[in-house]
Each structure stands twice: as structure tokens, then as C-alpha cells.
């Protein structure tokens, strides 16, 4: 009887010991979970704090590399020393900064200039050319110059260089200096497409 009771007590002690052990494990697990949660919160808070104190990225500014709304005008009228300044100027600044240069260049190119086929004086033509933008009419004919409409856009087949040469050298009727009023390139070397993107393929 004594041995059996001793054995029973031993079993009870084992059960109590085991229960206590499991309880300790549970407490340890909970402690580990709490620790991990606290650690994660600390890391998150640190990251947020770091992000909040990070300086914003520097603003990137882009500059125009070439101003060529009307073909050849920049090339012919702006000298190398002023090229970068002209390329980076706003259209609203161009007349104030470069009109005198355009007048001088026009006088050097055609000392005998009086008026052109548009009836423009040298000052008027220089004033038109110095603001190097491509005007576009949203309601009229799209053309660089077709004899009636002037600078209402630019169609792909427009002979832009010939038009510019006629205005510079052709005189009041557009027929003076015939050797200087055409580049003798009659058309594109390949037919334009009838649908978008309309440009001829490069090969």
C-alpha cells in the first residue's frame, strides 16, 4: 500500500512537473512573441523616422539642346558664339536678345534687300525670323508658304528651304537672284505615307 501510494505520488509529481514545464514553455513563447512584436515596431519606427528625415531628391532641370522650329534659320543667322544662348532662350526672349544680330546678318547676306514677296522690310523679316517657333493654324490651310497662306504650319511636302531663300533673296516679286532662291531639291527622295506616321521610311 505504501509502495503503491509512493508510486501514485510520483506520477502526480510527474504530472505537476510536466504541467509546470509546459506552462513555462507557454510563458516563454508569449515572451518571445512580445519581444518580436516590440522589435518589429522598433525597426518600423526607426525606418519611418529615417524616411522622414531624408532630404528630398534634387530637382532635375532639362535644357534645350537645339532650337530649330524653322529649318536653317538658327544655322544661318546665329553664329557659333551665340549658339548655346539662342538654343536655351525662351521664344519670348529671342527678339530682345538676338534681333540686332538677325538684322546685321540679313544685311550681310543680302546687302541689296528692299522688301520680299510678302512685302516685308528688312526689319520686319528679321523680326519674324528671330522668334524661332513654328506657327500652326488650327482652322486654315497647313503650309509654310503656298503663295497665299504664310507660316500657318508645315506640311511634309513643303519646300521650306526654297521658301526661306525666296524670302531672303527673291526681292519683291520672288524672282530676283534666281541662283540663290532654290536648293534645287524638288521633293523627298521617297513618297510620304498616306496614313500615320506619314513620314517615308528611312530606307
pLDDT for the residue 16: 44
DSSP state of 81: G
pLDDT for the residue 34: 47
Burial group, residue 23, by CB count within 10 angstroms (0-12, 13-18, 19+): exposed
Ranges of each domain in the chain: 1-60, 73-180
pLDDT for the residue 171: 97
Question: Looking at the DSSP assignment, which residues form a beta bridge with residue 145?
Answer: 150
CB 67, CB 97: distance < 8 Å: no
Alpha carbon distance 129, 75 (integer Å): 12
From first to last of its 203 residues, what are the pLDDT tens digits of the chain?
444 444 444 544 444 444 444 444 444 444 445 444 544 454 554 555 445 567 778 888 776 678 889 999 999 999 999 999 999 999 999 999 999 999 999 999 999 999 999 999 999 999 999 999 998 999 989 999 888 888 899 999 999 999 999 999 999 999 999 999 999 998 888 999 999 999 998 87
pLDDT for the residue 110: 97
pLDDT for the residue 51: 54
Q: Which three cell numbers, joined as nine digits, stand for 55? A: 532630404
CB 120, CB 150: distance < 8 Å: no
CB 125, CB 145: distance < 8 Å: no
Alpha carbon distance 90, 85 (integer Å): 10
Total-model pTM: 0.67
Alpha carbon distance 50, 58 (integer Å): 18
Q: What is the radius of gyration, based on Cα positions, of the chain?
A: 41
Amino acid at each position: 500500500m505504501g509502495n503503491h501510494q509512493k508510486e501514485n505520488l510520483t506520477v502526480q509529481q510527474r504530472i505537476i512537473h510536466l504541467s509546470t514545464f509546459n506552462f513555462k514553455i507557454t510563458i516563454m513563447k508569449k515572451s518571445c512573441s512580445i519581444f518580436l512584436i516590440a522589435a518589429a515596431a522598433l525597426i518600423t519606427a526607426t525606418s519611418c523616422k529615417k524616411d522622414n528625415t531624408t532630404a528630398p531628391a534634387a530637382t532635375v532641370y532639362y535644357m534645350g539642346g537645339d532650337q530649330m522650329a524653322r529649318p536653317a534659320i538658327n544655322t544661318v543667322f546665329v553664329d557659333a558664339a551665340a549658339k548655346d544662348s539662342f538654343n536655351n532662350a525662351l521664344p519670348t526672349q529671342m527678339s530682345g536678345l538676338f534681333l540686332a544680330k538677325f538684322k546685321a546678318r540679313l544685311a550681310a547676306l543680302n546687302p541689296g534687300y528692299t522688301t520680299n514677296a510678302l512685302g516685308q522690310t528688312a526689319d520686319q523679316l528679321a523680326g519674324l525670323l528671330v522668334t524661332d517657333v513654328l506657327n500652326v493654324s488650327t482652322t486654315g490651310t497647313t503650309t509654310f508658304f503656298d503663295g497665299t497662306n504664310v507660316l500657318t504650319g508645315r506640311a511634309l511636302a513643303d519646300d521650306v528651304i526654297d521658301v526661306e531663300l525666296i524670302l531672303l533673296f527673291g526681292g519683291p516679286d520672288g524672282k530676283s537672284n534666281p541662283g540663290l532662291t532654290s536648293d534645287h531639291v524638288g521633293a523627298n527622295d521617297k513618297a510620304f505615307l498616306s496614313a500615320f506616321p506619314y513620314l517615308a521610311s528611312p530606307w
